[in-house]
Chain A
Amino acid sequence: MDGYIIATIIKAALILGVISALAGFGTFIERKILAFIQRRLGPMHVGPYGVLQIAADGIKLFTKEDFIPSGANKIVFMVAPIITAATAFIALAAVPLLPEFTLPFTDIVVRPIVSDMNIGILFVIAMMGVGLYGPLLAGMAQENKWGIIGSARTAIQFLSYEVVTGLSLLAPIMMVGSLSLIDFNTYQASGVGSWIIWSQPVAFVLFLISGFAETNRTPFDLLENEAEVISGYATEYSGMRWGMFFIGEYANMITIGFLAAIIFLGGFNPLWIIPGGLAIILKVAFFFFLMLWVRAAWPHIRPDQLMWLCWKVLMPLAVLNILVTGIVMMV
C-alpha cells in the first residue's frame, strides 16, 4: 500500500512537471507553426532558433508585479487562475498517457496512469467542466465590464459544449461498454481496422468540434478574443496569474488530444512498426497541430452563431448518432 501511494505521488509530480513543461513548449511550437504558415519566422532571438523564448517568457511572467485591481474581489481574483490550472491537471489523472512498460534494470512494471478508475471518461469530462469556474469567477471578480462579458461568454460556451462532448462520447461508450480509458484502448487493440473512428465517424467529428470549443481555440475563440472583448475574463490579469490560465488552457489542449487519440484513434496500441508509446505521442501531436492549423486558417464565429451551432446542429446530430448506434447494437 505504501508503495502504491509513493508511486502515485511520483506519477502525479511527473505528470505535473512534464505537462506544464509541454504546455510552455506548446506556446513556442504554436508561435513557430503559426509563423511558418504566415510567411514569417516567429521567435528567433533568444537562444538557438528562439528555443529559449519560453525561458524568457517565464522570467517575464514570474517577475512581473502581482497586480490586483482595487475594486476586485481579492480572494476570488486570486483563486480563479488556480482553479483553471488545477482542474486541467486533475483531469489528466484518469488518462493513460503511455502503454505499460518495465523500468530498465528492474522488474517494476509501470502503468503511466495516476488512477485507473472505472469512471475514467466521466471524471475527465467532469473535471474539464469544473474548469469552467476559473474563467467565470475571474471575469466576475475583477470589476471590469469586458471581464463580465468574457465570463458570460465562458458560461454559455462551456456549458453548452459540455452537452455535446458528453453526448458525442456516449455512443462509443455504448459500444465499448465501459467508462475506463484503458478498456477503450484494449477494445481497439487489433489494429487500425478496429479503431472506433471507423464505426463512429460522426461522434469523432462532434467530439473534435466541441473539443475546440472547450479548449477555447479558433474558430470558437470567444472568451478572450482580443478584437472584441479585449482579453475577456483575463483582462485585468497579468504575470503568473495570467500565466496559469495559459498553462491550464494548453494542458486542456493536450488532454483533449489524448482523449481523442485514446477514444477514437486506437490509443497507445502499436501501429504497424511504430511502438505504442510513440504512436500516441504522434497522435496527440497531430491534434495539437490541427488546432494551430485551424487557428491560422479560419476566422472565428459570433457567440450567437456558436449557440446556433451547438443547440440546432451538433446536439441533434449527437442524439441521432446515439439512437442509430443503439438500434444497430440491438439488431
Chain B
Amino acid sequence: MRQQPNKLQPFFENLNFERKDNTMVINFGPQHPSAHGQLRLVLELQGEQVVKAYPDIGYLHRGVEKMGENMIYNEFLPTTDRLDYIASTSNNYAFALAVERLLGIEDKVPRRAKVIRTMLLEINRVISHLFFVATHALDVGAMSIFLYAFREREFAMDLMEDYCGARLTHAAVRIGGVPLDLPKNWISDLSSFLNILLEQVKLYEDLLTENRIWKMRLEEVGVVTPEDALSWGCTGPMLRGSGIAYDIRKEEPYELYSELNFDIPVSDRNDSYGRYRLYMEEMKESVKILRQLISMYPKTTPEIMAHAPQYISAPKEEIMTQNYALMQHFVLVTQGMRPPKGTVYAPTESPKGELGFYIVSEGEPYAYRMKVRAPSFFHTGLLQDLLVGTYIADVVTIIGSTNIVFGEVDR
C-alpha cells in the first residue's frame, strides 16, 4: 500500500509521474553533490535515462525582493551580494545602476568611478567564469582543473580584497559611484594577474579543449536550439552558445563599455562544448577590456562619487566642515534618499546573463516594489526540456553547463 503524502513524507508522490513501467522516481538534490547548491530535480528514470525531469526550487529562498521593499536603498545594496554570490559586484552594480537611473544621476557618476566599476565588473566576470570552469570540470571528473582554476580565482579574489576588504560579498559599489579609490600598487597587481590569467587559461585549454574524453562528454550534450533559447528567455553564454550574438554590454551599453574595444564571442554549436569554449573566450575578452581600462585610469580626476546633494552624501571633508552638508548627510542616513516617483528597469550583463533590477518608486525612501530579473532562474526552467532523454551522467554535465547559482534563482 502506498503511503499518502503527509507532513512528514510530503511531495513528489503527488506529482503526476507515470509509474506504470520499470521507471524509478529519484530525488536529485537538494543535497546531491553536484546539485550546485540547492537544486532539487525530481527525475523519472528508465534505467539511467531520464524520462521526465522536474526542477524544484526554493530551498534557498530568503525573500530578498521583499527585503528590498523594507530597506532604504543604501541599506539594501549589501544584501544584493547574496544573490549571485559568485560574482557579488555584478549584483551591487546592477542595483546601483537601477537606482541611479531612477534618480537620473547616471551621467553624474565621475569618470574615475566608472573606470573602477567597469574594472570590478570584469574582475567579477573572470572570477565567475573561473568558478564555472572549475566546477564544470569537477562535475565531468577532471579534478585537477578544479584546483588549477581555483588558484587563479584566489588571485582575483585577492585583488577584490585589496580593493574593498571582502573576498566573497564585496559590496564594492555605491549608488552614485564607488566608496574608495584604488589602493597603491593595485593597478600593477592587476596587470601581473592578467598575465598569469592568460597563461593559465591556456593551460586549461590545453588540458580540456582537445581532450577526447572531455569532448565525448560535452559534445552534443545539452543542445539548446536558438528557438528554445529565445522562448525560454536564456541570456548570457546560454544564448550566445546558441548562435545569437546578444550581449547587453553592446546592445544597451552602460558604464564605459561603449568606449571599449572588445568582441562578443558566439558559438553556433548549441551544445555544452560550445558554451565551454565561450566561457574561455570571454575570459580572454575580459583581459582585453581590463588592459584598456588600466590605461584609462591615470587620465581621470580623483572624484569618485556623483555630486547630487539631494540623494548622495557630500564628501567627508565637506561634511566635517560645512553645516549644511552635515545636515543633509544626517537626513540621508537616517531617512534615506527619496527618489522621484516612477519605475525603472536597468539590464546589465552579469557573468551569467541578463541581470536587472525593476524598481517601482512612490517617492518614498523605500521601494514600492523590487523585482530581480536573474538569469539563472530562466536557465533552471530550461532544465525540464533539456534533460529529457539524457543519461544521469549528462544531467550532471548539463546542470554544470547552465552555470546556475541558487542565490539568484531562489533570491
Contact = CB atoms under 8 A, between A and B. Distances in A.
Contacts of A228: 34, 392-393, 395-396
Contacts of A230: 32-33
Given A227-B33, A228-B393, A230-B32, A303 B48 contact: yes
B217 interface: yes
Contacts of A303: 48, 391, 393
Contacts of A148: 24
A39 B203 CA distance: 13
Interface stretch (A14-22, A77-85, A217-225, A311-319): A217-225
B114 to A, nearest CB: 37
Contacts of B47: 152
Nearest to A301: B213
A295 B47 CA distance: 27
A297 B214 CA distance: 11
Interface string B304-347: 00000000000000000000000000000000000000000000
Interface in A148-187: 148-149, 152
A300 B138 CA distance: 10
B394 A302 contact: yes
B140 interface: yes
A66 interface: no
Nearest to A219: B213
Kindly state the interface size class of chain B when it binds its partner.
20 to 34
Query: Of A152, A227, A298, A299, which is in contact with the most chain B CB atoms at under 10 Å from its CB?
Result: A299
Interface string A29-42: 00000100111100
Interface string B142-162: 111001100100000000000
A302 B211 contact: no
B211 A298 contact: yes
A145 B141 contact: no
B8 interface: no
A273 B392 CA distance: 52
Nearest to B393: A302
A302 B214 CA distance: 11
B230 interface: no
Interface in A1-51: 34, 37-40
A39 B139 contact: no
Interface of A: 34, 37-40, 145-146, 148-149, 152, 218-219, 221-222, 225-230, 295-305
Interface of B: 24, 26, 32-34, 45, 47-48, 137-144, 147-148, 151, 207, 211, 213-214, 216-217, 391-396
Given A222-B393, A227-B139, A299-B137, 18 more contacts: A34-B143, A38-B143, A39-B151, A145-B26, A146-B26, A152-B48, A219-B141, A219-B213, A226-B34, A227-B34, A227-B138, A297-B144, A299-B140, A299-B142, A299-B211, A300-B141, A301-B213, A301-B216
12 contacts: A38-B144, A152-B48, A219-B141, A221-B141, A228-B34, A228-B396, A298-B142, A299-B141, A299-B142, A299-B213, A299-B214, A303-B48
